[in-house]
């Protein structure tokens, strides 16, 4: 194997291993099958360096990722995790999650992801997404819900997360985790600084992502976002509903 491939393999193994050892701190636990899948992936990567179909191809990087990533990596306090993430990021294919033509430009241009495991990952997976999520400063990702279970581990910076329709935002800093169960309302905010998160999406990862907006009093609107084959998210449906209709989606 080429040295770059060995480095990539080592980073991949260490990153997946790191994910497999984390546990949510607030609610829920990993499903047994998620844990098993990650542990199997670790064991496979440990025994068979060629088990991944990734390569050392360099991808065109995004200016905003290049702007924030060095500072986010530079402030990570755990040198081992920083080293793993830093060497992995060189091989990842970063993409802007939402197109600015479909949502508010500042929101679209503030959220980026890179799959380690996933449909766009170094290791192809359609059963879970494991990767990095980078948010610029001043991002407000509105209240939304989806069928996938969402685990976040903050690698660098801070993120505020609201779970439930009217609950307070809670701030997560480096090393802190959150678990959002399937079909539970949540929102995200960054303040003055960017944030780097390890995310794990499991369960129904292909489903719809419903964004909520408050119209008046107990009247809400929800917009459905669906990922097209091209990878672009499109707004495919809009429904008006009463707040009582959202009761089952509360944490
Ligand atoms: Fe979410």
- Enumerate the domain spans of the chain: 62-249
- Give the integer Cα–Cα distance in Å for 44 and 219: 50
CA–centroid distance, residue 172 to ligand 1 (Å): 15
Q: How far is the CA of 87 from the centre of ligand 1 (A)?
A: 27
Q: In this structure, are residues 215 and 245 in contact, taking their beta carbons and an 8 Å threshold?
A: no
Mind giving me the DSSP string for 12-78?
HHHHHHHHHH---SSS----HHHHHHHHHHHHHHHH-GGG-----PPPPPPHHHHHHHHHHHHT-S-
Mean pLDDT by 10 residues, the chain (251 residues): 64 80 62 64 57 52 86 93 88 84 82 88 83 95 94 95 93 92 95 94 88 95 86 87 91 66
Exposure pattern of 70-87 as b/e (b: 16+ CB <10 Å)? Answer: eebbeebeeeebbebbbb
Identify the pLDDT of residue 241.
Answer: 95
Pairing type for strands 123-124 and 111-118 reads parallel
Show the tokens assigned to 72: 């986010």
Q: How far is the CA of 163 from the centre of ligand 1 (A)?
A: 10
CA of 144 to the centre of ligand 1 (A): 6
Which H helix or E strand runs over 233?
A: strand 233-242
The pLDDT assigned to 51 comes to 46
Angstrom CA distances, 72 to 59, 64, 83, stand at 20, 12, 12
Q: Does residue 95 contact residue 120 with C-beta atoms inside 8 Å? A: yes
CA of 224 to the centre of ligand 1 (A): 13
pLDDT for the residue numbered 50: 46
CA of 186 to the centre of ligand 1 (A): 7
Q: List the CATH code of the domain at 62-249.
A: 2.60.120.10
- pLDDT at site 57: 55
């Amino acid at each position: 194997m080429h040295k770059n491939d060995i480095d990539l393999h080592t980073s991949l193994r260490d990153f997946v291993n790191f994910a497999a050892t984390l546990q949510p701190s607030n609610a829920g636990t990993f499903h047994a099958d998620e844990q098993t899948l990650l542990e199997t992936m670790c064991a496979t990567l440990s025994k068979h360096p060629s088990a991944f179909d990734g390569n050392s191809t360099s991808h065109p990087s995004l200016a905003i990722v290049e702007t924030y990533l060095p500072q986010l990596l530079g402030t990570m306090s755990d040198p081992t995790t920083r080293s793993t993430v830093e060497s992995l990021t060189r091989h990842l294919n970063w993409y802007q999650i939402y197109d600015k033509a479909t949502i508010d430009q500042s929101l679209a241009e503030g959220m980026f992801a890179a799959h380690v495991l996933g449909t766009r990952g170094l290791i192809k997976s359609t059963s879970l997404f494991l990767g990095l999520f980078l948010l610029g400063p001043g991002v407000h990702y509105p209240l939304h819900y989806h069928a996938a279970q969402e685990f976040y581990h903050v690698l660098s910076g801070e993120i505020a997360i609201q779970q439930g329709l009217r609950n307070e935002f809670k701030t997560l800093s480096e090393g802190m985790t959150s678990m959002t169960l399937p079909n539970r309302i949540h929102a995200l905010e960054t303040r003055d600084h960017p944030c780097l998160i390890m995310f794990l999406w499991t369960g129904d990862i292909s489903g719809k992502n419903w964004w909520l907006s408050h119209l008046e009093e107990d009247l809400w609107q929800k917009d459905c976002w669906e990922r097209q084959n091209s990878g672009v998210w499109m707004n495919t449906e809009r429904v008006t509903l009463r707040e009582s209709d959202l009761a089952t989606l509360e944490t």
